[in-house]
Structure 1
Amino acid sequence: MNICLDNLTVNFDDRFQLDEINWQLDDSQHWVITGANGSGKSALAAVLAGIGEHISGTLSGVPAKVGIVSFEAQAELIEAELKKDDADIMDVISAGTPVYEILNPGNSNQQLIDELVEKFSMQSLVNRAFRKLSTGESRKVMLIRALASEPDLLVLDEPFDGLDAYTLEMLQEYLTSLVETVPMVLVLNRFDEFPEFITHIAYIDDGRLQHQIDRNDSKAYNELYQLLHLKTTDLQVPAADPETAIPRLDPAQPLVHLNNIDIKYDDHKIIDSLNWTIERNQHWQLSGPNGSGKTCLLSLITGDHPQCYVNDIFVFGFQRGNGESIWQIKQFIGYVSTALQWEYKVGTGLRNVIISGFYDSIGLYTKATDRQKKIADEWLALLGMSNRADVPFNKLSYGDQRLLLIARAMVKHPPLLILDEPCLGLDDMNRQLVLALIEKICAGSETSVLYVNHHPEDQIKGIDNYLALEKK
């Protein structure tokens, strides 16, 4: 068996579309398809069973005998059974198809069916009508039916959902016994349910196959674990520390208001007559080519630009040039940039890196409170790094350092979080990790996010406001 999906686009009744899928599977491999809810996991598995309308590209090498278990297939069987109750068509109410007929539609090994019925403890139910079963019981019927068909490819969509502990363990062991004879594709949300025999992992997002990972590649595997954790975890952005809370702002005032701003060097204007307002709880994406003035604009907000005093700038309740200090402004801002990462060369542990955000320091030079330690641990849990709390920051990968610095900037819940090209220098996996964290922050806090990058089309869920600068 050598299945090949070559630039395949598949439509599912105009409800969902898989786009330009390139994927190869051979009979020595066992795959897990994973991703967030609605990403296309089940759709990709269904393609292997011949479901969906092919729009473009090719699918080849799929064996004739595919055993599939999915909620969709289960629902179709139940719906077909319910139709037998239609009194307008039938003279009597149907008792429904018995389980033993569902288990063997005519092409399965009856001896194997009997063995599986015993394994799944379904002996007392084989004469019952299929539609009278509970959801968990009907799920077991679907599993027995697929396994007993002795398929050349087994496709199992969330096979462990709804199973009791005994049945789950038994099924894991049974699937392991098939490893040498049947290639398998499993759709799973949870990393802790991945069977040991899985050799490869496919990560899908928004209908596109984003990553294909060999399970033996520990670095890629750990990065994918973090990405899926951030995408699917129920953990929320941790609360601020009430003992080190930032002063309250007037809710009626915008965070930032720039009125007719000009920035020029000699006779060359970088920014010309710009008006821009950032309201509370707004999220913005700032984009533009090199030299368009993105950095200048940020430094006007932070108070680091010398021309901020000759412009009409209102930030966090201060009219610039009226005697306020730069630290009065910066207490309301969380800032992450590549330059900050270059400067943050300390070897302190990850928990302390996050705690340092309460003090805007590089390194931690103040004894942390128990509350601050708890909040830092909650951030580490959100990032999937709880087991690395005491690992030195300078021992982390470049991408993990960026995630930690975003958490550090957010720990005090600043009214404005500025992320200055946070994906710069990151590979695609780490870029997606950072974007997933930004989405989590946008959805789960009252902090306004200002996300700066080169590409206005590189959108983040939750960011609905855009400012694109042009080079003069």
Structure 2
Amino acid sequence: MKSIELNNVTASLGTDEQANFVVSNLTWQVTSDQHWLLLGGNGAGKSAITAVLLDQANIVSGTRSCDFERTEIVSSDLQKQLIAAELLADQDDISDGKTSPKLVSELIYQQSSPYFDEQLCQQLITGFAFAPLLKQRLRALSTGETRKLMLIKALSNRPELIVLDEPFDGLDVESTELLNTILADLSTSMTMVFVLNRLDEIPAFVSHYGYVSAGELQHQLATPDDKQRDDLFKLLHLEHTDLTIPNKDVAHSAPEFNEPELVRLRNAMVSYSGKVIFSHLNWTIKARQHWQLSGKNGSGKTCLLNLITGDNPQCYNNDIKVFGFQRGSGESIWQIKQYIGYISNALHMEYRVSISALNTIVSGFYDSIGLYQKPTQIQLDIAMQWLALLGLSELKNTPFTQLSYGDQRMLLIARAMVKHPTLLILDEPCLGLDEANRQRVLLLIEKICAAGSSTVIYVNHHAKDKITGIEHYLDMADFR
């Protein structure tokens, strides 16, 4: 069995002087009995990873070994290279006649592999209705026709492994159906690696899935079950979604708070039975200033949050100002909480009512576990917008208790956000989640930070776990 093996590879694309993209920590094996699909958002690095696979990148560290002798690729980058070469040939022809642009038929047959399959080539030419184009020059072809040209040439060379980067782009319905049929036939004798954005284009014979983000192959699934595949698709949906925070219901939204300082703690201390959890802690949170709060178990993260929310009675023994209220000045707990959206693992455990996914989000308007009031049409419309954002529209009537753990967590975050809180506290939001669902939650947090409608406090164990958009850090181990 042949294979390509990449072990802890870091590689760059571009010149040695200026790398355009960096692939990191890439450990991946593709064997001759596998067919892979790489998923990920635009700019995630899918094409860069396939370039490393085919030894078309500068490997900085790590190792690559390959048993495949014949490889091909069909991609937008290759398409650009073909067109650039044709433009150069045109310029030479105009200037001094050195080079004559080649016909499409010449491009198909030039530098053909000894394994070139004439019968397959003719099948593709006929199926794609490509024969009238063989006497054209490349520049006369449309985008879809150029993609057909590359497919005809690459597949006819009968490679042992082929990378198909968005192979259906620009193809009409009939050509897409033909290509699917031919790829299925070739899948018994040719290893394929697909890069696709459209989920409805995934060939049925794909056996392995990989998810790419920020130049890293973060998930690898062999023959994934329906749930694993579904989680990846939901993650992909978030990657491709431009987050527009749904509008708020003016009658049930957090009041406006326009002061720059949201929270201020001076020399805060919490102790129980003579044991000091933390002391001499100073912390100021300003509007749109997103924070990551980290620390090991027992370090006092939740105690600190409860000083802010008023759920810890020691808040009255400390110098704390929250949303313009000095603690202990006669304010009620609800005057504080009206500004706060909150999610924690404890809340998730308590949310055991069997209401629908839609009503779970609606319950956020009333800060209730369950829904005990008739929602307005505006609230239902806003909740549907959140479901669409999360890729959960089809589950709107599914009881909360029947949803996957990851879907439940996403709904609870939407529930916390639905009132556009001034401060959104996410206390260990990834606790209990598998890796794909953890990535979904982190990506949603990134998008909420970018939207700028709420100030975010993200709480976790590990200070090294960074989220784009969060630039302020409080570690309970060294806050002094």
The answer, yes or no, to whether TM exceeds 0.5 is yes
Q: Distance in 1 between the 2:111 and 2:53 partners?
A: 22
Q: Does 1:138 align with 2:139?
A: no
State the match for 2:424 in structure 1: 417
Identity of aligned residues (%): 52
**Any residues of structure 2 matched to 1:214-233 within 5 Å, and which?**
214-233=222-241
- The farther-off stretch of 455-464 and 281-290 is 281-290
- How far residue 86 of structure 1 moved from its aligned partner, in angstroms, is 3.9
State the match for 1:305 in structure 2: 312
- How far residue 235 of structure 1 moved from its aligned partner, in angstroms, is 5.0
Q: Does 1:69 align with 2:74?
A: yes
- The farther-off stretch of 376-385 and 335-344 is 376-385
**Any residues of structure 2 matched to 1:357-436 within 5 Å, and which?**
357-436=364-443
Instruction: Choose which of 76, 88, 97 in structure 2 pairs with 1:92.
Output: 97
Q: Does 1:201 align with 2:209?
A: yes
Give the TM-score taking structure 1 as reference length. 0.93
Instruction: Choose which of 54, 59, 63 in structure 1 pairs with 2:59.
Output: 54
- How far residue 466 of structure 1 moved from its aligned partner, in angstroms, is 1.1
State the match for 1:440 in structure 2: 447
Unaligned ranges ≥5, structure 2: none
Instruction: Choose which of 157, 160, 169 in structure 1 pairs with 2:165.
Output: 157
- How far residue 447 of structure 1 moved from its aligned partner, in angstroms, is 0.8
Q: Which amino acid aligns with 1:119?
A: G
Determine if contact 2:93/2:99 at 8 Å carries over to the other structure: no
Determine if contact 1:253/1:317 at 8 Å carries over to the other structure: no
Q: How many residues align?
A: 471
**Any residues of structure 2 matched to 1:10-29 within 5 Å, and which?**
10-13=11-14, 14-29=19-34
In structure 2, do the counterparts of structure 1 residues 146 and 438 end up closer, same or farther at CA, with 3 Å as the change threshold?
same
Instruction: Choose which of 185, 195, 210 in structure 1 pairs with 2:193.
Output: 185
Q: Distance in 1 between the 2:370 and 2:89 partners?
A: 70
RMSD: 2.2
Q: Does 1:254 align with 2:261?
A: yes
Q: Distance in 2 between the 1:459 and 1:25 partners?
A: 30
- How far residue 221 of structure 1 moved from its aligned partner, in angstroms, is 0.8
State the match for 2:247 in structure 1: 239
Q: Distance in 2 between the 1:208 and 1:35 partners?
A: 10
Q: Distance in 2 between the 1:233 and 1:259 partners?
A: 40
Q: Distance in 1 between the 2:41 and 2:156 partners?
A: 31
Instruction: Choose which of 346, 349, 355 in structure 1 pairs with 2:353.
Output: 346
State the match for 2:3 in structure 1: 2
- How far residue 268 of structure 1 moved from its aligned partner, in angstroms, is 4.7
State the match for 1:295 in structure 2: 302
Give the TM-score taking structure 2 as reference length. 0.92
**Matched position secondary structure for 1:255:** strand
- How far residue 225 of structure 1 moved from its aligned partner, in angstroms, is 1.1
Unaligned ranges ≥5, structure 1: none
- How far residue 111 of structure 1 moved from its aligned partner, in angstroms, is 4.5
**Matched position secondary structure for 2:270:** strand
Q: Does 1:102 align with 2:103?
A: no
Determine if contact 1:34/1:189 at 8 Å carries over to the other structure: yes
